Amino acid sequence: MNKHTLSVMVENEPGVLSRVAGLFSGRGFNIYSLNVAPTLEKGVSLMTIVAEGDDAIIEQIVKQLRKLIPTIKVKDLTEMKSVEREMVLLKVNAEDSKRAEVLRIVDIFRCKVVDVSPDEVTVEVTGDQGKIGALINLLTRFGIKEIARTGNVAMQRSMQIDL
């Protein structure tokens, strides 16, 4: 089971999200995260789907997505050089005794504090899955009270070479 990041360009028409979601549920495929928003091109939306499965399943997912009539293009970014980012909001316990430590970690990760109260801070972090996973790990011991994630967005790198 591997995670693959799929970039799916679709006609922005009613029901298109339901077609994609229905494809996953109806065929028993797993979606890890899904993000969708309009592109610069009129009438076209971009979905970034992180899907889980072995190679054969991912191959089926890609083909089934392409088969949907409103799908314009599907790319498996896991097979290319790409940049991936997710934005996460975390509300963390930060009573007086812990506050300095929480803020130090926030600083190290170059996150932003976007809201504070006497015993909580809310931080905004952007990064790849590695960075976000590490931050969550570190903050867990203080107590994460709420989390909201955008899911990955991703893009193929312009130069497909190892830098």
Partner 1 sequence: MKLTGAQILLKCLEKEGVDVMFGFPGGAVIDIYDEIPRSSVEHILVRHEQGAIHAADGYARATGRVGVCLVTSGPGATNTVTGIATAYADSIPVVIFTGQVPRALIGNDAFQEVDIVGITRPCTKHNYLVQDIKDLAKTVKQAFYLARTGRPGPVLVDLPKDVQNQITEFEYPDKVEMRSYKPTNKPHIGQVRKVVKLLKEAKRPLIYSGGGVITSGSHEELTWLGRKLRIPVTSTLMGLGAFPGDDELFLGMLGMHGTYAANMAVNNCDLLLAVGARFDDRVTGKITTFAPRATIVHIDVDPTSIQKNVSVHVPLVADCKSALAALKKETKATLDEFDWQADHQPWVDQVQTWAREHPLTYKDNTDAIKPQFVVEKIYEITKGDAIIATEVGQNQMWAAQFYKYTRPNTLLTSGGLGTMGYGFPAAMGAQRAFPDKLVIDIAGDGSIQMCIQEMMTVVCNKLPVKIVILNNGYLGMVRQWQELFYEKNYCATCMDAQPDFVKLAEAYGAVGYRVTEKKDVEKTLREAFKVDKPVIVDIRVEKEENVYPMVPAGASLTEMLLV
Q: Which residues bind partner 1 (CB under 8 A)?
A: 10-11, 14-15, 18-19, 22, 26, 56, 59-60, 63-64, 66-67, 69-72
Q: Quickly tell me which residue has 């070479």 as its tokens.
A: 161
The nearest distance, CB 94 to partner 1, in angstroms, is 44
Nearest residue (CB) to partner 1, 14 versus 118:
14
Quote the CA–CA distance of 126 and 150 in Å, as a whole number.
10
- Name the residue nearer to partner 1 (CB basis): 22 or 143: 22
CB of 70 to partner 1, least distance (A): 5
What phi and psi, each to the nearest 5 degrees, are found at residue 141?
Answer: -70, -20
Which residue number, 72 or 113, has a Cβ lying nearer to partner 1?
72
DSSP 52-119: EE-HHHHHHHHHHHHHSTTEEEEEEGGGS-EEEEEEEEEEEE--HHHHHHHHHHHHHTT-EEEEEETT
Distances in Å between the alpha carbon of 71 and those of 10, 13, 17? 4, 11, 11
Q: How far is the CB of 151 from partner 1 (least distance, A)?
A: 23
CB of 14 to partner 1, least distance (A): 7
